[in-house]
Amino acid sequence: MAEYRHSAHAVFDLKYHLVWCTKYRYKILKGPVAERVRDLIRQICQSRDVVIVRGAVSPDHIHVLLAAPPSLAPAKLAQYIKGRSSRHLQAEFPELRRRYWGQHMWARGYFCATVGAVDEATIRAYIENQTWDEDEEGFKITATTEP
């Protein structure tokens, strides 16, 4: 059973699998740098009300499974984590600043996939089995009884 979170006007369970790599796939996330990036990601997520379900720091990439509020788009979440962690790491580790002289420590893109308790086929079946008035390109209007 999913653990739903609550905000003032919403009940939600939004989980994202995010993966991003170091620029040029340099294997720099080792020892104190790996520990610090883990701490920074924890702090950044906590400040945005994002829960880290699981995470892993590899020498050249990071995997995290995050539970985020609906007000925070996955693209913004990746931007916050990558931007702030890069800035702090380069400020604290001069060798990173020398290696990444252009100030970009992470590769440009990232991978993001949604994760849920119910798969797409189940949701499609649920929607298809509703009472429909008419079919309009996969986005139907349910039949209503007028008084």
The residues facing 147 across adjacent strands are none
Q: Which listed residue (4, 26, 100, 126) is catalytic?
A: 126
Measured in degrees and rounded to the nearest 5, phi and psi for residue 52 equal: -90, 115
Residue 125 structure tokens: 């079946």
What region, left, alpha or beta, does residue 68 occupy, with left being phi > 0 and alpha being psi -120 to 50 degrees?
Answer: beta
Active site residue 100: no
Question: Other CB atoms closer than 10 Å to residue 56's CB: what's the count?
Answer: 11
| Catalytic residue ranges | 126
